[in-house]
Structure formats: C-alpha cells, structure tokens
Amino acid sequence: MTNEEIRTKAETYLKHEENQIFRDEVTELLKAEDWEQLSDRFWRELDFGTGGLRGLIGGGDNRMNTYVIRKATQGLANYILSHVAESERGVVIAYDSRRFSDLFAEEAARVMAANHIRTWLFTSLRPTPELSFAVRQFGACAGIMVTASHNPAAYNGYKVFWSDGAQVVPPHDKGIIGEVRNITGDVPAMDRKEADKAGLIISVDREVDEPYHDMVVGQSLNPDLVKAEGKNLKVVFTPLHGTGLVPVETVLGRLGIDVVTVPEQREPDGNFPTISFPNPEMAPALKMALDLAKDQEADLVMATDPDADRLGIAVPDSGEWKLISGNQLGSMLADYIFRTRKSQGRLPANPAFVNTIVTSEIQNRIAESYGATCFRVLTGFKYIGEKIRQFEADNTYSYVFGGEESYGFLVGTAVRDKDAVSAASMTAEMALWNRNRGKSVMDHLRELWAKFGFWKEILISRDFEGQKGQDIMASLMDSLREDPPKEIASVSIEAMRDFRNGTTTKIADGSVVKDIMLPSSDVLQFVLADGSLVTARPSGTEPKVKFYASCRSEKGSNPGAAEGELDGLFSGIENWVNVRIKAVGG
C-alpha cells in the first residue's frame, strides 16, 4: 500500500469518526507523516470474525474505536432487523473495566436505538457470564459484551451473543459478519437523552444482579457443609482490576466463606497497573495474591480475568503454593460434581459432559466413570453453548458440566458461556469437601492421577504481528497440511486430523477418511503412536498460532517420575514447533 493510499484511507476514516480522541491520534500521525504507524492502522479493517471484534484501542480502521464499534453494531442491527420479529427485537449490552468500554457500550446502545431496537444497558461494569444470564432473563434476541477478556491493557473487544445466551455460531455468525462488512460511510446514533425518553435504552443493574447471584448460590451441591464449615476456609481472591470483585465477594460471602481480596488489585482499572497481563493462566498475575496468601496462611487462592469468565487457582501443598492448570481444575470439578450428584441420586437421565478437542482426555475418562456421555467440540466456548441448545432441542442429553483448557468452566445451564463466578463458588465448595474427608486439593488431584494416569498439557504460543505475520501463519498451516510430519519428538505419528475439511489421514499409507462431524475450522491435530496429541490452531482473536500438546504417563501413582518422563517429550515437541515455524520464515 502506497503512502497516498494510506492517506486516502486515513482521511476517509476522519470523515466518519466523531470521537475527538481517536481523530486527534490519526491527525497527528498524518501531520508527522508517520507512514509506518499509519500503515499498521489502515492496512486492513479490524476483522469482525466469528468471535466478534478484538484489537488495539486507537484511531484507524485496524483499531478499536467508536466508529468501528458503530459499524459493527449497525451490521448486527441490520441482521436483527431482517431475521428477528419486531416484537422480539431487544439487545442486552454490558461492559468490563477496560479503557473506553463504557463509551463503546453506550455507542452500541445509541446505534441500536437509531434502528428502533430496544436495549438493556448495564449502568456499570458487569462480568460476561452475567451478560449471558441477562440475555436469557429478558428474552432478548442478542447480547453485546464489550471486553478483550484477558488481553493486555492496550486492547478492547466486542463479543456478540444470540438469544440462547451463547456466543453466535452458524448460521448467525456468518450472517452478522456479512452485514458488518457491508457497512460504509456514516453510522447514525441516537442522542442518549432522546433514546432514554423513548424507552429505547433501559438502564439495568440490581434486577439482574440479584437473580444471577441467587442462581450461583443455588448451584451448591453441599449447602449444609458450606454453611457449617465455610467460615473455616480462608480464600485470597483477586479480580485483577476487573469485574469479578462484586459477584465473587457477594456469592462467597452469602455462602459464609471468608474472602480476603488483594487490596492493590481490588478496584477496576483498565490500565491494569499492577500486572502486565490480566490473565489468571499466567503465574505473574497471581503473584500479589500468593504473597498475601502466604501472609494470611490462606487455604486457597483464586483469580478471575477482567470480564470474570476465566478462573485460575493456587493451593498449598507441603509448604509450597502450587498453581493449578485449567485442565487440572476442570478434572477435579468434574470429579466432584459428577461424584456428588451421583451419590445424592441427583444425576439426570443421560448426563452429558462437554469439553473441547484440546482439553485433557482425563476429564472425559472421569466423567465416563460416573456414567456420563462425553462430547468434544471445537475450541471456543460458544460450541459448548451450542451443544446445550442441541440437547434441549432434541430432548436427548442433560448437560451437567463442561469446560476448556484455558480456565473456562460452566456449571449448569442458566449461563451459556464460561462463568468464573460459578466456578469460584464450586471450587471453594470442592476444597471444603476435600477438607471434610481429610484430604487437600492436591490429594484429590493425586487420587485422579493414580486412577486414570498422569496427564499433563502444555501450550506453545507464537505471535505473528501485522500483515507479514498473517502471511507466515497461513504458510505454516499450509505447510503442515501439504507436508505433514512423520514423527514429532522421535515419536511416530499415526494420523493427522484436519478439522477444516473434516478428514483423518493415516500417515503410514496416506489413506483419508471423512470422519469429523464438526464445523469447519482451521485446526490440525496430530495423533502420536503413544497416544499423545499435538494440535495446531491459529487464534481466532489474537495474531498468534497456538500449539497444544497433551500427553499421558502410566506412572500416575508416582507423579514426580511421570512428570520427568513427559518433560523430555514436551521439550522435543517445542523444538519441532520452532523448526516448522522457522521453515516458513517465522
């Protein structure tokens, strides 16, 4: 793209952007003739994908700003107007603590109002699971959540939900994307006072908060135990400057559990001043909580990400604090939930457990041991929500629990997205249950390893920024398809699963079978001879390729030896990843 083409795109953007902050950014770059910065902001339009929008905050087509929000919302409004009956047109809008989240949420509400679509707009920040809950409570046809989840402070995003409270899936996602891409020129937004007066923007807060908190508290499987022993469990909690503060403190408080919140990370702040990444998957994000837990002699550390849909935990073990992975926590929650409900005679007919194709197999074996049927879906919690809807429509299975490796879990069906508030409540109860039987949380995990084998997973993530990065990512996936490896880390590969075309290729003879009945997705999974899985997937929300490795050792009764055995395998897998990326210029 030439400098003049960039200038033309920038000047066109300035004609439509009304927010002075974003206008000034682009104007100053034009004055300085900073073509490198301008190119990054205008080489493409920020892509509205199947997960909505996510990108750096700033002026430009390839940034999160008020004009991009307006275009996305107008596209969604057009889809609603053409696919939803007038009497059912209503949208719930919520936002998290990130910079400009409140402004972006109001812009979306004003655009909906200009299209005579009613919105319920939260008066202040709320977690993503409460937005999902509210869509179902109000009988809305859609929901918008302004959040970039666990991304750094420079980012924001925009997630779209449908009437079932889950993020949009086919055919709605493609239909909405098509409408958004057709939007050009000015996008009208109704004056807020006028919209309020016309009843097109309705402010909400407690009328959703209280039923949502009641729902979470009501999910308790052992309320008598929690009531009697909850005061003896000390939890250190950090919302990481996000939305988890009020709901987690409220719910655990009502259950009678002692919560100590990290004071420096208590208040919402989109700059995330105490952490580089507000991600409970990453150890540095939990450092302040762990320091406080040692000082307080706590029993459990819990952390939620900015929109409170992901939960990370740490537990004491032999005088040290251990970070628990998403796969491990999901395994223990699955065991506790299915075990308890079965012992109480409360498992429904045809109980179902749902997780993703990159989540640990130990969870499926646990659920199956209690008589559950397990379902694997593509990465993305919207596919778990879609499964719940299918079960209800077909009247076949009853969803009990599900989750994904990236610290996302869903208890019950009142919410249709991952819910860190419910997961925090259930995790605290699980810790109490273990204590009541004379065990620690780590003892519980070791029991599962002894029974089902030692499982460990790693995530290898590589970033590819800008247009060049997009080309490298595409070349990498093409090379893996066209020239699949015969071995990884000196272990032969038996098969390659290609989720883009739904096929499995046997490496030994090259035979191909179409046997994957899932939506098309740019994902490759290699099945190693020892049962290990290595999966390659370009992220749908960030400029990166993720490699997931899941491996098992028979030495479940000796976790130290098992971990040592697998660490060598993981090292070989990472070396292989680096070689393949380098081969395509990465």
- Catalytic residue numbers read 149
* The token pair that represents 266 in the structure block: 């208590």
Q: Is omega for the bond preceding 485 within 30 degrees of 0, making it cis?
A: no
| Residue partners of 408: CB distance under 8 A and separation at least 6 | 309, 310, 326, 381, 418, 420
C-alpha pair distances (Å), 367 with each of 446, 498, 562: 17, 26, 23
Count CB neighbours of 572 within 10 A.
16
Answer yes or no: are the C-beta atoms of 42 and 2 closer than 8 Å.
no
Cα Rg of the chain (Å, integer) = 24
State how far the Cα of 21 lies from the Cα of 100, in Å rounded to an integer.
11
DSSP for 212-235 reads: HHHHHHHT-S-HHHHHHHGGG-EE
* The token pair that represents 130 in the structure block: 């409460």
Tokens 């919560």 locate to 259
β-pairing, 234-238 vs 155-162, is unpaired
* The token pair that represents 81 in the structure block: 């107007």
Dihedral sign (CA 382, 383, 388, 391)? positive
State how far the Cα of 493 lies from the Cα of 491, in Å rounded to an integer.
7
The DSSP letter of residue 379 is: S
Per the DSSP assignment, residues forming a β-bridge with 455 are 552
Question: Nearest 10 degrees: CA dihedral of 360, 364, 366, 372?
Answer: 160
Cβ burial of 36 (10 Å; 0-12, 13-18, 19+) is exposed
